[in-house]
Amino acid sequence: MAETAIRIRAQMKDDVTEVKALMSHEMETGLRKDKKTGEVIPAWFIKDVVCEHNGKQVMVAHWGVAVSKNPYLSFKFKGAAKGDTVKVSWTDNKGGAATSEAKVE
Amino acid sequence: MKRRTFLKGTVASSMLGVAVSAGLLTPRMVLAAWPESAFGAKNVDDALNALLGSTSTSESSAIDIKAPDIAENGAVVPITVSTSMSGVESIAVLIKENPSPLACSYDLSANTEGFISCRVKMGKTSDLIAVVKSGGKLHSAKKTVKVTIGGCGG
Amino acid sequence: MKKLLLITAVVSTIGAAPMVSQASPEDDLKAFRGFFLERFPNVPLDEFANGVYAIDAASREQWEAIEEFPPYEIAIEKGEVMFNTPFKNGKTYASCFRNGGIGIKGDYPSFNADTGKVETLEGAINDCRAKNGEATIDPEKGPMVDLTAYMAFTTRGQVTDVKIPHDQRAMDAYEDGKHHYYARRGQLNMACAHCHVDNAGNKVRADILSPALGHTTHFPVYRSSAGGMVSLHHRFVGCNDQVRAAPFKAQSDEYRNLEYFLTYMSNGIPWNGPGARK
């Protein structure tokens, strides 16, 4: 059962659209050991986050393992109109990916 | 406490772990490669050199770091970096005492404001450093965030 | 200045028989509530639902930043999917609960006259599953907590109103829960009340002890330290561990009775789960 991998809210006030996104991801640092086996739990984290407005890139984030689990991101940009599409996509170090869209309100 | 209503993505989103399809990154977009050596750097200067090609930053009071004085929990420290500067090209967040100081970096387009909010992990009390690239120059600000040991195993 | 509670529980070791309390639950509740309202005079009753964030501004600010987009939303969504997914026999959880299962978390814990025991939401969920030919699930961790997160969410705003019927077995369960709360246990030889009543608002190293008043309102919680959802009984296990006492099992009689007492003590305070905590 797939739940929304990236939850997005995009709200416009005056000319500025504030985008907030909550992502579902372990963001494993690669520095922890499994308590039972003693083995290092491999790093597993989102590396790139691409944010687009109406198909045009507005922000690209590069993340390391210090970003918290179930990461949150918020940024602001100008020039949108209500009903426009904001899209957020991520790729992680294991080749995993997710993408989600929301309309500007 | 109010009932929160939240928006769902309007387009079905792919499941966690699904491989990236060719259409995810269109040729039109330029995605700078993930800065591997910057994220691997073990000190702030090396990270800045690898990420931005320089360690020459000038402190700026036009950069505001909103972060707690004492982090409630080092695993999730909510921070916001904002600046009144115009023409911000990028914002980088470094946590000096973390094993690898570079936490995250953001490349902003022309219409995007100098404002980033996120949640980071801090291993111990440390300076939180924000480096803003604007007008071809590097500007910085820092704030000390204390990370403490709880008594309830938290 | 500590104010002595009217409750007369006096126990020094696990297993000792409790003294018969002379106060009724209503008297206990009045004294309990009065203690905290006096200790934290600037905090309205409802605000106790927010625990430590009702009494400490610095941590409240961080909590509000997290509440901007709280990680428990992920659990709520998973829980909603679970709630709406039919069992193999075609029925859903809605068929087992009042009001189709929406907004009913406040119906628990409750005394079940048939079984003679305290019934919890987790117990009722597993009963529902069994009744419909499904295997029961771990009541302490995992998918159960996503489901209860969703059910807590639909119950937000309703007022805690645990009932203790005129049934000796219900009274005994309440007294048992109360006994647990005030009994010393573990290598550290401390009672729940030592931290969350006597020392509410004080610090244990850098942790501020949350007041017991309102404790049950916001479960299950997303804990930053755990990186996931924590159920009330899992927290009981954790607290017992932290005073180095052998914990009981989730959904054991001990913990169900404790939940009964503790939730009753939050009567009058709104349900506001799921919550976010450090």
pLDDT in tens, A87-101: 999 999 999 999 999
More confident residue, B101 or A1: B101
Average pLDDT over chain B, rounded to an integer: 84
Residue B58 is assigned to a structural domain of this protein: yes
The amino acid at C135: A
Q: Is the pLDDT of residue A1 over 80?
A: no
Residue B122 is assigned to a structural domain of this protein: yes
* Closest Cα in chain C, distance from residue A25 (Å): 10
DSSP H helices in chain B: 36-40, 44-52
Residue B152 is assigned to a structural domain of this protein: no
Looking at the fold, whether C222 and C91 belong to one and the same domain comes out as no
Q: Is the pLDDT of residue C100 over 60?
A: yes
Confidence category of residue B25, pLDDT binned at 50, 70, 90:
very low
Looking at the fold, whether C65 and C197 belong to one and the same domain comes out as yes
Average pLDDT over chain A, rounded to an integer: 95
Residue B120 near residue B75 (C-beta atoms within 8 A): no
Q: ipTM of this model?
A: 0.95
Number of domain units in chain C: 2
Number of domain units in chain B: 1
In terms of residue numbers, what domain contains B50?
Answer: 33-146
Q: What are the CA-CA distances from residue C77 to residues B21, C64, C71, C103, C145 (Å)?
A: 26, 21, 11, 16, 12
- The residues, any chain, with a CB within 8 Å of residue C74's CB and separated by 6 or more, are A3, A7, A22, A24, A70
Looking at the fold, whether C234 and C173 belong to one and the same domain comes out as yes
Residue C10 is assigned to a structural domain of this protein: no
Q: Is the pLDDT of residue B18 over 70?
A: no
- Tally Cβ neighbours within 10 Å of residue B32: 11
Looking at the fold, whether C225 and C176 belong to one and the same domain comes out as yes
Residue C7 is assigned to a structural domain of this protein: no
Which of B16, B34, B95 is nearest residue A62 as measured by Cβ atoms? B34
pLDDT in tens, A32-81: 999 999 999 999 999 999 999 999 999 999 999 999 999 999 999 999 99
C224 contacts B152? CB cut-off 8 A: no
- Tell me whether B9 touches chain C (CB under 8 Å): no
Looking at the fold, whether C196 and C146 belong to one and the same domain comes out as no
Q: What is the pTM of this model?
A: 0.88
Q: What CATH number has the domain bearing residue B81?
A: 2.60.40.2470
- The residues, any chain, with a CB within 8 Å of residue B49's CB and separated by 6 or more, are B41, B55
Q: Is the pLDDT of residue C273 over 60?
A: yes
pLDDT of A2: 57
Q: What CATH number has the domain bearing residue C273?
A: 1.10.760.10
C242 contacts B152? CB cut-off 8 A: yes
The last residue of a domain, from among C155, C181, C214 = C155
The last residue of a domain, from among C128, C155, C182 = C155
Looking at the fold, whether C95 and C224 belong to one and the same domain comes out as no
pLDDT of C219: 98
Residue B79 is assigned to a structural domain of this protein: yes
Looking at the fold, whether C64 and C96 belong to one and the same domain comes out as no
Element of type H or E holding A13: strand A6-13
The neighbours of chain C, by the rule of 3 or more Cβ pairs under 8 Å, are A, B
Looking at the fold, whether C206 and C219 belong to one and the same domain comes out as yes
pLDDT in tens, B32-72: 899 999 999 999 999 999 999 999 999 999 999 999 999 99
The neighbours of chain B, by the rule of 3 or more Cβ pairs under 8 Å, are A, C
The last residue of a domain, from among C123, C155, C187 = C155
Residue C205 is assigned to a structural domain of this protein: yes
Residue C207 near residue B148 (C-beta atoms within 8 A): no
Residue B24 is assigned to a structural domain of this protein: no
- Tally Cβ neighbours within 10 Å of residue C146: 25
Q: Is the pLDDT of residue C232 over 90?
A: yes
Looking at the fold, whether C273 and C252 belong to one and the same domain comes out as yes
Which of A48, A77, A98 is nearest residue B16 as measured by Cβ atoms? A98
Looking at the fold, whether C192 and C151 belong to one and the same domain comes out as no
Looking at the fold, whether C65 and C171 belong to one and the same domain comes out as yes
Q: Give contacts of C66 with chain A, Cβ < 8 Å.
A: 72
Q: Is the pLDDT of residue C260 over 80?
A: yes
Residue C129 is assigned to a structural domain of this protein: yes
Looking at the fold, whether C37 and C99 belong to one and the same domain comes out as no
- Domain architecture of chain A: domains with CATH: 6-103 (2.60.40.10)
Confidence category of residue C20, pLDDT binned at 50, 70, 90:
low
* Catalytic residue numbers of C, as ranges: 239
Q: Give contacts of C45 with chain B, Cβ < 8 Å.
A: none
Residue C94 is assigned to a structural domain of this protein: yes
User: In the 8-state DSSP scheme, what is residue B32?
Assistant: P
pLDDT of B14: 36
Q: Which residue from A74, A105, A101 is spatially nearest to A4, judged by alpha carbons?
A: A101
Residue B113 near residue A76 (C-beta atoms within 8 A): yes
pLDDT in tens, C119-129: 999 999 999 99
From the candidates B81, B96, B106, which should be mutated to test the interface with A, based on the most A CB atoms within 10 A?
A: B106
Q: Give contacts of A3 with chain C, Cβ < 8 Å.
A: 74, 77-78, 81
B25 contacts A58? CB cut-off 8 A: no
Distance of alpha carbon C44 from its chain centroid, rounded?
Answer: 20
Which of C69, C74, C81 is nearest residue A20 as measured by Cβ atoms? C69
Give burial (CB, 10 Å; 0-12/13-18/19+) of A76: buried
